[in-house]
Structure 1
Amino acid sequence: MKGLMIQGTASNVGKSLVVTAICRWLRNQGYHVAPFKSQNMSNNSYVTEAGTEIGRAQGVQAEACKAIALPEMNPILLKPKNDRTSEIICLGKSIESLSGAGYRTHFYETGKKAIIESLALLETRFDYTIIEGAGSPVEVNLNDRELVNMAVADMADVPVLLVADIDRGGVFASVVGTLKLLPEAHRKRVKGILINKFRGDPELFTDGVDWLEDYTGIPVLGVLPYTAHEIEAEDSLAIREDKVSSVDNALDIAVIVFPYLSNFTDVDPFYQEEDVSIRYVYRKEELGTPDAVILPGTRSTIEDLEEIRNRGIEDGLLDYIHKGGTVAGVCGGYQVLTNQLIEGDKVIRGMGVFPVTTLFHEVKTTQRTKGVVYSRSGFQSSVVEGYEIHLGEMREEKKLIPLFLLENGEEGAVFDGGRIIGTHLHHVFHNKDFRTEWLNRLRLRRGLSKPGAALLRKDPYDQLAEWLESEVDTDALLNLINNGVRAE
């Protein structure tokens, strides 16, 4: 097939971002492009229009391609349930949960078949497929049955571009070490190197580029500067740093970090609000007295509730709520606020904020949906849209005021005129009108003025494409994609 595979010298070197940038750059050249990652491990997933579930990075990359996200773009998604077991999503549907050893023993052939069929389908529908690897291609203890790096490059018969992160240090050793550990046949697939996250004057790295090219015999196609961006992150390795606003008297929003945090990108829109600071809370003593607390999604609601209870965070949150604090619970963060949680014969006491029982079922709800803010919620009417991924069903112990009226009925709950809200709707704060009103309530309580109208921002995908085009030899890149492993 015509395409390219982006592999990295380690996790979190920027593979996903580079794939996203290449996808939008190619789309802007008029090509029809598909992203692909054979096997992803992340609790931050994406719901397609058809209600199937894939890795969030591939959903975002499909948006960069201006293409409809398909399950074939990420045929295998592993969602960790604990340190040993993961739920397996195959071609968008949950099929079973297995340990790492069980996955390698029992699922390998099924997964390989799904990958091959997915690549074949994408080849018939798109001009190019840009493939993302995972971690490092030289995890030598796993390479006999790997399904995500060079094995996939072989299946697709595409060249490989190796990305290295210079910001973490050791870039020469990471590039050379990776190449040395590759078998000769796979080393020949690596046709280019990208240096990512460079800070400072790139002229100071000219000798470094020359040395890499001389030593490895592989061209360095570009040195990408470190860039701040608005593209959603994929997994917990990429949780953003705390954001400290430069605005005087900025709002302080605390986000509780669950051990099995999922879909944490629900808080990303707050990074674009100039007068909002975001900080992440791991321990009770870090909570303080913020303007609001967000409880995000969790892949293992009961386990994470018990963990924040053991850490004392629950007591701190309840004290904060009783003193008039503002709280928003999203998905699992909503479920922990209920009276009790029931999974089979297991009954766990919840935080008791909402008079609701959460019942967990085997069948997962995965759907995109839209609707309006409920008329009696206390919030102004506005259109909202987002997606749901959850196992829990909420059974009210007494009638609550819902937060939204969605296509599939009433959803969420409101307490004290909107001071406490709960919802299963991911991306709730991506809805600008709702987010603005929620923040304006916090501003009003602090006696702050509402901010002026924000300047129109350039499409973040186009910004990424420009970042790539300004620093990478795109003629060589396109030649590599078109000519495959035979390109020299």
Structure 2
Amino acid sequence: MSGLLVAGTTSDAGKSVVTTALCRAFARRGLRVAPYKAQNMSNNSMVCRGRDGVTAEIGRAQWVQAVAARAVPEPEMNPVLLKPGTDRRSHVVLMGQPAGDVSSADWETGRRHLAEAAHAAFDDLAARYDVVVAEGAGSPAEINLRAGDYVNMGLARHARLPVVVVGDIDRGGVFASMYGTVGLLEPADQALVAGFVVNKFRGDAGLLRPGLEDLERLTGRRVFGVLPWDPGLWLDSEDALDLEGRRARGDAVRRVAVVRLPRVSNFTDVDALGLEPDLDVVFASGPRDLSDADLVVLPGTRSTLADLAWLRSRGLDRAVVEHARRGRPVLGICGGFQMLGRVVADPDGVEAEPGARAEGLGLLDVRTDFAVEKTLRLPEGSALGAPASGYEIHHGRITVGDGAVEFLGGARAGNVFGTMWHGSLEGDAFRRAFLAETLGCAPSGVRFAAAREGRIEGLADLAEKHLDVDALAGLARDGAPGALPVLAPGGVR
């Protein structure tokens, strides 16, 4: 069994970035590579097909990592996906299919079957690929959760995986967090931690070297490299921690305001707009943020009714309606589209209390009724004279009235557009047609798939230059070095 676990000192330390980079770097060496994350907690997901041909839902990050690995995305690469609905309860997607809910109250006992399924999925991938690059979640040093952990050290112990810990130096305190991560682990877990990767370094590498040498001396573990800060290499993300970092730069002449819903999902739908040189894409939280926008986008949400109530509490509902009445375009995607309709109802309590119902913004003659069965589709079609495609992930059932016309699984009325197809703007032909129709933009020549591939290649180039990729490949092949020291306060014991 050949594999490697990329863990992190914190959430958003750079685990996804390093995992993606290693997937491409290992694939360049002729290895058959599979990405893996036992459990995601994210509302940013993607639809793929299992080996049986059935559509399945996985985390967006693992889908992108599969692209980086030159592998076909499949549910085994992210067997457990938790989609937060509230602060204490998450919807469970198991092997790509809905599997009820889990709450913080039953965090350990309610996840035992998830651990079994996750480890079985890893074993399946390991039997079919040369190497599995696994990404951890949060920090492996969450000692209050260790007993039920199957994502970090629980996975490493299951598969005897060597572990590399990534730390974000841009946050500060990286040496303490790396040392402390190892030091808090029990000896059997420490024995699998082989070393470290520093992420997001800015400045003179010479100034960092004494600290790296001390870290290696104090821990008895190697630093495999230091990745520099490079804001141009962002990738599709699995969470919304850095939405502001996705803002477009340059000499943009038209402003796109994306409403930052509290439970936003699949916000990568607007990534393609951010690549357009004539557009400045910003995230908006108040009515003033929409006042000078040329296009307003209501993105997807994990909880349409709750976020619709939030929209009203901030006065954003009136701002969106006023924007449309001034003749400016509005685009709603999935849950955001549902908000633009007349009524949103949840008779069975799929996202809210049973029988919950709310009036929408009334910009589209559409009614939404939530159903227990989830729709997972990879649709294709056309709109605005261009071919279009995307993916659907929703419980909402849409009824379009006479006052609107069909539009990509949704509806359109004048300058108001609503679609159930996530990812449709990633299609270059459709995006050009939509921007010409709504903003009068001339074709820019941007190719989204090529841009993503360029980012992946650039990230792998960065890893090849600044990390010892061959040593990491050897680590994945041979396992953690034997007799690694156990840390105690003050250094190696």
5 Å matches for 1:65-464?
Answer: 65-106=69-110, 108-227=111-230, 228-241=232-245, 243=247, 245-247=249-251, 250-344=253-347, 345-373=355-383, 379=384, 381-398=385-402, 400-404=404-408, 411-416=409-414, 419-444=415-440, 450=442, 453-454=445-446, 459-464=454-459
1:453 is displaced (CA, Å) by 3.7
C-alpha distance in structure 2 between counterparts of 1:103 and 1:148, whole Å: 13
> Mean alpha-carbon deviation: is it higher for 133-142 or for 451-460?
451-460
| Correspondence 1:19-98 to 2 at 5 A | 19-49=19-49, 50-98=54-102
- SS in structure 1 opposite 2:361? coil
Output the aligned Cα RMSD.
1.7
The percentage of counterpart residues that share the same residue type is: 38
Cα distance, 1:187 vs structure 2 = 1.2
Q: SS state of the match for residue 232, structure 1?
A: coil
Kindly state the Cα deviation for residue 481 of structure 1 after the two structures are TM-superposed: 1.0
Deviations 1:190-245 (A, max 9, x none): 11210000112222212222121112111111000112225211111132426253
Contact 2:2 2:477 in 1 (8 A): yes
Amino acid at match of 1:17: V
1:400 and 1:322 map into 2 onto residues whose CA distance is: 16
Q: Which moved more, 1:259-268 or 1:197-206?
A: 197-206
Q: TM-score, normalised by structure 2?
A: 0.91
Deviation at 1:435, TM superposition (A): 1.3
Contact 2:164 2:195 in 1 (8 A): yes
Aligned to 1:16, what secondary structure does the other structure show? helix
**1:189–1:122 Cα change, 3 Å:** same
Q: Which runs of 5+ in 2 are unaligned?
A: 348-354, 485-493
Runs of 4+ in 1 over 4 A off after TM superposition: 454-458
Rounded Cα–Cα distance in structure 2 between residues aligned with 1:353 and 1:161: 51
- The count of corresponding residues between Structure 1 and Structure 2 is 468
Q: Counterpart amino acid of 1:39?
A: Q
Q: Is the 8 A contact 1:80 1:86 kept in 2?
A: yes
**CA drift at 1:450:** 2.9
**Normalization by structure 1: what TM-score?**
0.92
8 Å Cα contact 1:19-1:130 kept in structure 2: yes
Any idea what the Cα deviations from partners look like across 1:344-394, whole Å, max 9, x if unmatched?
122211111111110100001011121222xxxxx2x21111100011011
What is the identity, as a one-letter code, of the residue corresponding to 2:476? Answer: I
**Mapped contact 2:400–2:406 kept (Cα < 8 A):** no
> Compared with structure 1, are the counterparts of its residues 102 and 438 closer, same or farther at alpha carbon in structure 2 (3 Å cutoff)?
same
Asked if the contact 1:283/1:313 (under 8 Å) is kept, the reply is yes
Q: Distance in 1 between matches of 2:59 and 2:279?
A: 28
Please identify, of 351-360 and 208-217, the stretch whose mean Cα deviation from structure 2 is larger.
208-217
Aligned 8 A contact 1:289 1:320 in 2: no
